[in-house]
Every structure is written in structure tokens, then in C-alpha cells.
């Protein structure tokens, strides 16, 4: 009996993960308001009732998406810190995270959600804001390190510079998208980071 319960729990977990995977891609390509439970159910060949079992409403699904995305992004930033010691390399690796998403013909999940911010449920709004605040905090720490050791040069505060970098990368993704031009993003990202790495 215990093995059956465990298998059933594992199946539920796998179904929830598949739902999140499909919904995440749909948000990154279409936006949160441009997909429905019917779209997810159709792709996974399951019923809408099965979706509601795992995520009672779209608001709950959306919050789970942001939570998972933010956790994965935080893990990626921790890996950058663990693998790279100097601030310029960490900044390059940060921009690479955005580039990898764009190469997959997707947008940053929270960037897409930010464009729909007024229409999102309050818990999702809060989660999106936290995502950007966490990114800015991480970047400000890297920028402060670089300024202290002389590898980075910028006039505004680390926090203001961090906000500029996040905004610049998100905007560069958005503008590169209709052109279908990853190189366009790379060029803007390079120039953006050159502004703090050049003496």
C-alpha cells in the first residue's frame, strides 16, 4: 500500500512539473493573459479538471510559475558566484543568463509578467517585484565588490547601477524580439556592461 501511495504522489508531482513547464513556455512566448487552462490541457492531453486539481486557479498557477522561476534564477546566480571570483566575469555571466533565454526564443518570465503587471493578481505582482529586487540586490553586491577592488568604474550608486543593468537587459530582450536578432541583444548587453567595466 505504501508503495502505491508513493507512486501516486510521484505521478502527481510529475504532472504538476509538466504543467508548470508548459505554462512557463506559454507565458514566455505569449504572455500570462494570452493562454488558458485549455491550452495547457491540450498540449499535455489531460483534462482541465486535472489542471484544477494541481492548481485550483490561474492565479495559483501563475504564482507557482514565478516562485519556481525565481528559485532557479537564484540557483544560477549562486553558481555564478561559486564559479567566478571577479566582478566583471560575474556581470558577463549574468547577461549570459538573459542571452540563453532569448536564444531559446523566449523572454524572461518576469519581464513578460511585468508588462502585464496591472492585470496580475496581487500575490503574483508581489512575486514579480521580489524577483527584480533580488536581482538588483545581487548585482549591487557584485558592483560594490568590483568598485572596491578597482575592476569596475561607475558614478551612480551600486543600487542605481544595478537597476540600470536589469532595465537595460530586459529592454534589450524586448527590442531584439521582433527583429529575431540575438546578436542585437548581445551588442546592447556588451555596451551596457562596458559602461561599468571601462575606466
> What's the mean pLDDT in 135-140?
98
Reduce the secondary structure of the chain to three states and give it as a string: CHHHHHHHHHHHHHHHHHHHHHHHHHHHHCCHHHCCHHHHHHHHCCCHHHHHHHCCCHHHHHHHHHHHHHHHHHHHHHHHHHHCCCHHHHHHHHHHHHHHHHHCCCCCHHHHHHHCHHHCCHHHHHHHHHHHHHHHHHHHHHHHHHHHHCCCCCCCCHHHHHHHHHHHHHHHHHHHHHHCCHHHHHHHHHHHHHHHHCC
Residues above pLDDT 90, as percent of the chain:
89
Domain boundaries, the chain: 2-197
The mean pLDDT value for 134-140 works out to 98
4 pLDDT tier (thresholds 50, 70, 90): very low
| Level-2 CATH architecture, domain 2-197 | Orthogonal Bundle (1.10)
pLDDT confidence bin for 5, thresholds 50/70/90: very low
Give the per-residue pLDDT at 198: 74
Residue 11 has what pLDDT?
62
Mean pLDDT of the region 90-107: 96
52 Cα distance to chain centroid: 25
Q: Are 130 and 70 in contact (CB under 8 A)?
A: yes
Q: Are 38 and 48 in contact (CB under 8 A)?
A: yes
Residue 148 reports pLDDT greater than 50: yes
Amino acid at each position: 500500500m505504501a508503495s502505491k501511495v508513493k507512486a501516486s504522489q510521484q505521478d502527481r508531482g510529475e504532472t504538476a512539473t509538466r504543467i508548470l513547464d508548459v505554462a512557463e513556455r506559454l507565458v514566455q512566448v505569449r504572455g500570462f493573459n494570452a493562454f488558458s487552462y485549455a491550452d495547457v490541457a491540450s498540449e499535455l492531453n489531460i483534462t482541465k479538471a486535472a489542471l484544477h486539481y494541481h492548481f485550483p486557479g490561474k492565479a495559483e498557477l501563475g504564482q507557482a510559475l514565478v516562485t519556481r522561476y525565481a528559485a532557479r534564477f537564484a540557483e544560477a546566480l549562486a553558481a555564478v558566484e561559486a564559479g567566478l571570483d571577479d566582478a566583471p566575469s560575474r556581470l558577463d555571466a549574468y547577461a549570459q543568463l538573459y542571452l540563453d533565454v532569448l536564444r531559446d526564443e523566449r523572454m524572461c518570465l518576469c519581464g513578460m509578467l511585468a508588462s502585464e503587471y496591472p492585470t496580475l493578481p496581487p500575490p503574483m505582482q508581489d512575486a514579480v517585484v521580489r524577483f527584480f529586487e533580488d536581482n538588483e540586490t545581487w548585482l549591487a553586491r557584485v558592483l560594490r565588490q568590483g568598485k572596491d577592488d578597482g575592476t569596475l568604474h561607475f558614478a551612480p550608486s551600486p543600487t542605481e547601477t544595478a537597476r540600470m543593468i536589469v532595465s537595460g537587459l530586459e529592454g534589450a530582450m524586448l527590442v531584439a524580439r521582433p527583429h529575431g536578432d540575438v546578436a542585437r541583444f548581445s551588442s546592447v548587453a556588451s555596451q551596457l556592461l562596458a559602461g561599468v567595466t571601462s575606466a
